[in-house]
Amino acid sequence: MTSIKRILVTGGAGFLGSHLCERLVQASHDVICLDNFFTSQKSNVAHLLDLPNFELIRHDITSPIWLEVDEIYNLACPAAPGHYQYNPIKTIKTSVLGAINVLGMAKRCRAKVLQASTSEVYGDPEEHPQTESYRGNVNPIGPRACYDEGKRAAETLFMDYHRMNKVAIRIVRIFNTYGPRMHPYDGRVVSNFIRQALVGNDISLFGDGSQTRSFCYRDDLVSAIIAMMGAPNDFVGPVNIGNPKEFTIRELAEMVIELTGSKSKLVFAPLPADDPTRRRPDISLAKEHLGWEPETPLREGLLKTIDWFHSINLGHYRPPTPNF
CA angle 199, 200, 201 (to 5 degrees): 95
CA distance 133 to 147: 20
* 272 prior amide bond cis, ω within 30: no
Q: How would DSSP label each residue in 114-179?
A: EEEEEGGGGBS-SSSSBPTT---B--TTSTTHHHHHHHHHHHHHHHHHHHHH---EEEEEE--EE-
- CA contacts within 13 A on the Cβ side of 204: 13
- CA contacts within 13 A on the Cβ side of 254: 7
Q: Give strand pairing partners of 216.
A: 177
Which are the catalytic amino acids?
A: 147
Give the dihedral of Cα atoms 318, 250, 211, 149; nearest 10 deg: 10
The phi, psi pair for 180, rounded to 5°, reads -55, 145
